[in-house]
């Protein structure tokens, strides 16, 4: 085999050059980070078509008659995720308030959550008082109003059937 300057053969130079060319990475790319990173391994490169792991899970849920729904995430989370919920196609006149009642776990991994919707409701109707009745019956009117509102739950409206978009987001503080 022919020698190249310095006594190396063509095969040796070829092997040396091939050893210096970066190889394609075979691992899944890291998720995004809050500060980002250029990376330091110059011996590998990302191939066209690679994809970074998803940080979110978006799921559509419909609340049952009791106003709850169990939502299974489209990915798992190592830490309790942040959850954002939005009513979709709201046709009700009263607002919907949603909370996460609990998380569904498999071991230490978070796989879903149970959500609960509370819909506000209008105040009970009151009878109209005339000016003369108002002047003569202020105390009885106040007592009637207090009696009507005793035990009234402003969030006691039905949330059944509400469609909710549930977005779970991997936390950046862990």
Residues 97 and 160 in one domain: yes
Question: Residue 143: pLDDT above 70?
Answer: no
Whether this model's pTM surpasses 0.75: no
169 part of a folded domain: yes
Query: Residue 162 and residue 64: Cα distance in Å, rounded?
Result: 8
Residue 129 has pLDDT above 60, yes or no: no
What's the whole-number mean pLDDT along residues 128-155? 65
| Same domain assignment for residues 49 and 67 | no
Q: Per the structure, how many domains does the chain have?
A: 2
Clarify whether residues 87 and 69 are in a common domain: yes
- 87 and 113: one domain? yes
End-to-end CA distance of the chain: 58
- For residues 27 and 91, state if they share a domain: no
* Residue 62 and residue 49 in one domain: no
Containing structural domain, residue 109: 54-120+155-174
- 137 contacts: CB under 8 Å, gap ≥ 6: 129
Q: Which residues contact 22 (CB under 8 A, 6 or more apart)?
A: 42, 43, 44, 45
pLDDT at 27: 78
Is residue 113 very low, low, confident or very high in pLDDT (cuts 50, 70, 90)? very high
Which residues, 6+ apart, have CB-to-CB distance to 12 below 8 Å? 4
Residue 137 lies in a domain: no
Mean pLDDT of 140-158: 71
């Amino acid at each position: 085999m022919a020698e190249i300057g310095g006594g190396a053969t063509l095969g040796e130079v070829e092997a040396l050059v091939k050893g210096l060319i970066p190889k394609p990475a075979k691992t899944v790319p890291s998720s995004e980070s809050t500060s980002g990173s250029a990376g330091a391994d110059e011996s590998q490169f990302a191939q066209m078509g690679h994809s970074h792991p998803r940080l979110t899970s978006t799921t559509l849920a419909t609340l049952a008659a009791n106003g709850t729904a169990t939502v299974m995430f489209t990915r798992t989370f190592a830490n309790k995720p942040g959850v954002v919920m939005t009513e979709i196609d709201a046709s009700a006149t009263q607002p919907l308030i949603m909370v996460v009642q609990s998380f569904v776990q498999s071991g230490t991994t978070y796989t879903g959550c149970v959500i609960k919707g509370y819909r506000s409701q209008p105040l009970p109707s009151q009878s109209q008082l005339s000016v003369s009745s108002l002047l003569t019956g202020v105390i009885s009117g106040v007592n009637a109003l207090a009696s009507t509102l005793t035990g009234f739950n402003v969030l006691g409206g039905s949330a059944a059937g509400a469609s909710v978009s549930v977005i779970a987001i991997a936390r950046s503080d862990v």
